[in-house]
Chain A
């Protein structure tokens, strides 16, 4: 059993009356102490000025909004009342049982629970369903709530730095020759993904892959007179979204990508190889060079032309 130093004990007992009064005080009184009394915010600020400044400059720090930590006990709202014991004991890592979001021993689920007390609604309604929650990613793994309005993951230009620190393959893929404008900052991860969980596959913002793609590519939605089945089912049957060495964002090159499904008589089943390169190597095959199959079958996303069953019109 830990022995409390006598002096501290006496000091604590001496403050008991005042503390009891505070315990009984109304929430509003706690959030806005009487003139001359320091609020919990100011207690913490004494040692954690940078954190405090970042918090105060953020939405959390707005006192005029009844929902914010600033209106519900300041720092204690998220870090717990133990923050005061932490302060009373002179601070230090883990001292006093303060709820620390950077403590790796605290499960991510417990950290998220603190945030979800206020933020379960809106985009976070499916948080518990998300891969992030299931893989022990906490809100604080991505968000910096003590950074004012400089939370990197909420800024278009810097969001990918945060996401890419875990999604490393995607961090590389955005540099491939064919890519969405992610590294240019015009499309961000949250343009397509809902990182707080969704009912769509891979936490997409819409319920299906195609509905997500149609938000920017509505011209491909149809319905068309002549549908191309793999297109209609899932864009990722042929495309890979983050980056590819095959333009435009294709999983494989034509004509062989097409020939993974098509094998009709004559040219659809023909083997294309170096024999189709320009002279002197080959004979410059029209099904191989330039856009390969799409030199003629250009309407691969569907055709609404009555003469388009072979996607040439």
Chain B
């Protein structure tokens, strides 16, 4: 017989069974059958009412529309203690578009089967409008009678006169429906097999942008509805073996993504402009075509496991190899009629293939009674084997075909490979009872192909202490210092993607696309400091207080002067927590969290005439900075009381969240900078419930959900559909609502 707490390694527990007989003699015997099990079976049925349409309120909960809804929740379970047979049927939100229904069946320790249906509707902004017919389909057309926006429509009023009469409501929403089935079975002698299959259907409409034009000077865009009609099938199958000393699992993961729409086409609502070299690009002949997410597959084989060579040492390993593929036939360079392609596509499809390898070795060992060492090595490789080819692209369905490759339109694709080697070492030392010291070191090396930086190395030192200051006070503080450096920064994407013939047409000072002073933040040199702190205290058994804080600062360095890109980022969060249990059946809690993120970046504004100078170090007339200061404060308070007057349970939760997004543009040169208003959100959410016991196994429940929300966002505030000269927007409004959902239900418990 295995004994868990009596494991010989457990020095705390060394007891014999001497007292068993004593206890047997002293304790009265009671029958299990007479006790109420916590495996309960309940059905809840009722009705609710939402007093107002509010898409944001119903973002994910299925309560976005005004009107009545059905409350339906079930939880039916049966477990036989003697035979181990069990089954369960659970359903939540059955009357809403956020419903879930799951059935489980099995014999514990032998096999288990399950099936599940899950629905999730994501509501998007429904206050916008669109010019196009066919929202939700892969082909958008302009309404009859629409005359097209001309270059002479230079004012918002003129554009509105052309567009507004034809605008129609645009309801953005997507829905996922998941069907899951699975089984697991013990095969004996420590072996177990399992499989889980998930089929997801996702459909709906989301917003995207459809542009005509080929440079910053002549784009004409519309925000258009993109159809979502996806299917994803995922299978996970595993065979596992386990003993107390070693565990092993071999698994296979398959993910197949399918999109019913390969592309989205739309008519150009803008009349021809001078910059479009394709004469047919403008209204009414111009047709744009976007590539929608292509069908793709992912296969992965993995083994992982662990081994305990001694009672105090654990070894672990993982090896997985995977392959992502994508080979959907290419769309043509252009869909606009009249653009005759004179150079065929170099390939008919991508034949994209990425091989992935992940290996991990790790160990944990208590080498001394007070000292534990841990270490791990991770190898993560993404090897992109996708063939490269040169494509002579047509700029957004508006350009004449290119002849020759001495042009910036001759571009070669850049398959992206990267490889990570990460070593982590840690030592924990228990100084004395309740106090643990920690020191650690990480070495993280990442190699990349066809990016600006071929290799980064990051060293991290970590220190921490965790202490039980008293039986009712615990605290921890940790500090980590990281330093990341790259080995050379070169404009590889430019050299590898643009043709040599085109690059030869440029002078040395202008032979670049992205400013050579730019250092992209995901691999630029960086010093990071991070400090974490928390303390928790229970001055009385009924009171718990907590304070936690997290601070980090990233300082991006560069050998260039100035550094373009992110220069600095800081994050500060802290939380105050309190819980109070004044009586056995009363619980209360309150918390406050402050969250702040700040960053500072530099860039410089330049045109073709000033390009050469803009790439040089030192001050430049177009230099500018932007500071970002995002702040959020969340306050929550709640209580729950059970058994009030023997029959009533009730509780409440109130959450108030406010956020402020502040962007501070600053010009130090010739650029003009004006301040931007702050973007502000305010959310007040109140949740109440009260349950009244009608009979021994029946309750009436009243539930209330009340939210008040307001958002200001200068990106959409006062932006009418034709506000921008070259983009037809949706004119959607930021959410602003006060909504109440009230429900009354009857709960019956089967006993």
Contacts and interface: CB of A to CB of B under 8 A. Distances in A.
Contacts of A219: 230, 257, 259, 293
Residue of B24, B88, B726 ringed by the most chain A CB atoms within 10 A: B24
B248 to A, nearest CB: 9
A84 B332 CA distance: 79
Nearest to B385: A223
A202 interface: no
B539 to A, nearest CB: 15
B655 interface: yes
A178 B6 CA distance: 49
Contacts of B328: 304
B622 interface: yes
B657 A176 contact: yes
Nearest to A49: B35
A267 B306 CA distance: 54
A134 B601 contact: no
Interface string B729-745: 11000000000000000
The 6 A-B pairs of least Cβ separation, nearest first, read A148-B38, A274-B674, A27-B1, A64-B84, A65-B109, A121-B242
A175 B683 CA distance: 8
A93 to B, nearest CB: 11
24 contacts: A12-B18, A38-B27, A47-B27, A54-B38, A62-B80, A72-B1, A73-B1, A81-B20, A88-B22, A99-B13, A113-B10, A120-B308, A168-B591, A169-B573, A181-B61, A214-B255, A223-B352, A223-B354, A225-B352, A245-B630, A271-B603, A275-B674, A289-B723, A296-B221
Contact of B605 (A37, A177, A271): A271
A232 interface: yes
A143 interface: no
Interface in B165-222: 192, 207-211, 213, 215-217, 219, 221
Interface in A43-75: 43, 45-47, 49, 52-54, 56-59, 61-70, 72-73
A25 to B, nearest CB: 9
Contacts of A225: 330, 350, 352, 391, 413
A163 interface: no
Interface in B399-427: 411, 413-416, 418, 426
B632 interface: yes
Interface string B428-439: 101001101010
A251 B468 CA distance: 36
B37 interface: yes
Interface stretch (B136-144, B695-703, B709-717): B709-717
B294 A224 contact: yes
B38 A57 contact: yes
A172 B574 CA distance: 11
Contact of B715 (A22, A45, A289, A308): A289
Contact of A70 (B5, B81, B326, B474): B81
Given A121-B240, A224-B326, A135 B476 contact: yes
Contacts of A278: 718-720, 723
Interface in A130-158: 133-136, 147-150, 156-157
A22 B630 contact: no
B178 to A, nearest CB: 10
Contacts of B296: 218, 221-223
B634 A118 contact: no
A160 interface: no
A78 interface: yes
Contacts of A3: none
Contacts of A215: 234, 255
Nearest to B468: A104
Given A121-B242, A263-B564, A303 B291 contact: yes
Contacts of A84: 15, 17-20, 22-23
Interface string B79-114: 111111110100010000010100000011110000
B130 interface: no
Contacts of A30: 1
Given A218-B296, A313-B289, A223 B384 contact: yes
B515 A19 contact: no
A266 B394 CA distance: 20
